[in-house]
Chains A and B, each alone.
Chain A
Amino acid sequence: MSGLTFAEKALARASGNESVRAGDVVDVRPDVMFSHDNTAYIRKIFLETGAKRILHPERVAITLDHAVPAPTTRHAQNHAEIRQWVREQNITHFFEVGRGICHQVLSEEAIVLSGEVIFGSDSHSTHFGWLGAFGMGVGRTEMASLWATGELWLRVPETMKITLTGHLQSGVTAKDIALYILRTWGSGGGQYRAIEFAGDAIATLSLDERAVLTNSMAEFGAMSAYMPPDEQVFDYLESNRTRDYTPLYPDADAIYSQEEVIDISALQAQIACPHSPDNVLDVTEVIGRKVHQAFIGTCTNGRYEDIAIVAQVVRGQQVQIPLLVIPASSQVLLQATRDGHIATLLEAGVTIGTPGCGPCMGNHMGVPAPNDVAITTMNRNFRGRMGTGDAEIYLANPYVVAMSALAGEIVAYDEAVMVGD
């Protein structure tokens, strides 16, 4: 009998089955289920079902992150309802306004561990594959059902294996690998499949970079994404974990629906052009395009390394257009402050926002004007994503975004800028 993929192993464990195969329909009991500002709406559906108590409040995590600090009275009321619900239901893991974005915060707090299953009412729940967990986004009705019953049916997905070889050139990041995947196989390339990353190149990627890749697989249509966890991951989880865990790895003879290899040594900086994340070109093909504002942040690229890169690029210079940096969490902000990066950014004219999702959904804090062109490290550039359908959004790595903010137009990575650092 052939071997098993990570998804097959993780879902067998979480459904209490000895073995499951792609195509099987199983009832999965996730180790963690989380939601964010959409919790109040989920509560409404939950109460419609007639359920009274969340079955496993100790498995539930809630972050306030999508519109923080509350931009309007209505948003504040939404937050207030959620706080009340957290108290009523004795929900164990609650993270207030300012703590950061759900995916980043739950990673930092080691709420979910390698080999576990986590469902979130957020499409970027593929994120948790960076630490070797099975993360999947669910709908609001499904989250209400999870609260009530602790389980959700699932069809075990087929898996696409992407092997990464080589090492990144300077000025090229995990963001570029993600954009290259979207460019090559399209935004439906991973639909309803799990993605497994493999290959020697993973060890060359920092933990921050690994998370960029698994997070971005939401744009690939993937149900989940996975990277084999190593000692770096276990060290990261060690200080905050509250239970034991057993990491899972795919078998060498697992069956995949597609296998691809990417030599990341050959990769150039990529850029997604309006209005789709898979409308990708080499950055060198759009040089000179005037931009009006720049944004570094989100669950995809708002981590410590992204901010450190921006500081490296803008040190001693002045940005020519507004550059907004929103750290993905308070821990990221604290570390960047301690290391002097925030001072460097402020001296260069950069704006710092409260940890959270910022303008990514066009809610508030840095949305563009009609006819503006924005360049950002965020995850999606669908028309209207940042609030107005008349703005254009380009997605690129933090070097390209920061250098473009210094130039007022899209520029390619220039190693000379980094000299003297």
Chain B
Amino acid sequence: MNTDHHVWVYGNNVNTDVIFAGKYTYTLRTEAEIQSVALEDLDPNFASQVQAGDVIVADHNWGNGSSREQAVTCLRYSGINMIIASSFSGLYFRNCINQGIRPVIIEDLYQHLSTGDTITINHDAQTIIANGVAYPIPEFSPSVEAILYAGGLVPMLQERFNTE
């Protein structure tokens, strides 16, 4: 099965403060509130125009800075299920998986795309097709795949323990 996705393309060293500003960490609580300020200081159009299933494509060190989980959840509440970057900050990479967003490392893909372009995910071959080129989606360990499949760490554990 193939699915098409619009991309939002960003550059190098996008930090957690521009993804979800620190000043909001203890004031915004609901999903709608948290979503409404996603990428506020990076791309003012993002929060209002993003569609479910869109993909973020960026350069190196996406999500550097704080460990705050809202820098991931604000994107999940925006319908983002995958982020492609040349590299991620370590904490952000962990937070992505534990919150159910698949982080994919593809070096320099951002150079070949512009915001609004479409990429295709081939779910059978586990590839991303951009401008006619297929890039493999690296597979994680079974337990990490299980977390992503469930939509995050807590939902995965809920499935496991509620059926036992």
Contacts and interface: CB of A to CB of B under 8 A. Distances in A.
Contacts of B164: 50
Contact of A192 (B91, B141, B143): B91
A51 B147 CA distance: 16
Contact of B161 (A51, A157, A192): A51
B28 interface: no
A192 B154 contact: no
Interface in B116-161: 140-141, 143-144, 147, 153-154, 157-158, 160-161
Most chain A beta carbons < 10 A, residue from B69, B90, B93, B160 = B90
B144 A50 contact: no
Contacts of B162: 50
B36 interface: no
Interface string B81-107: 000000001110110011000000000
Most chain A beta carbons < 10 A, residue from B93, B94, B158 = B94
Nearest to B162: A50
Nearest to B99: A141
B154 A49 contact: yes
Interface in A203-259: 223
A45 interface: yes
A155 B98 CA distance: 13
A151 B89 contact: no
B90 A153 contact: no
Contacts of B97: 153
A105 B14 CA distance: 39
Nearest to A188: B64
Nearest to B141: A25
A141 B154 contact: yes
Contact of A191 (B90, B141, B144): B90
A151 B143 CA distance: 10
A37 to B, nearest CB: 19
A392 interface: no
Given A139-B67, A188-B64, A153 B144 contact: yes
B141 A27 contact: yes
B98 A141 contact: yes
A191 B158 contact: no
A260 interface: no
Contacts of A25: 140-141, 144
A52 B94 CA distance: 25
A27 B146 CA distance: 12
Contact of B141 (A26, A144, A157): A26
Closest 5 CB pairs of A and B: A192-B90, A50-B161, A49-B157, A50-B162, A51-B161
Given A49-B158, A142-B98, 12 more contacts: A45-B154, A49-B154, A49-B160, A141-B153, A145-B153, A148-B161, A153-B141, A153-B143, A188-B64, A191-B64, A192-B89, A223-B90
5 contacts: A49-B157, A49-B160, A49-B161, A52-B161, A141-B98
Interface of A: 25-27, 45, 48-52, 139, 141-142, 144-145, 148-149, 151, 153, 155, 157, 188, 191-192, 223
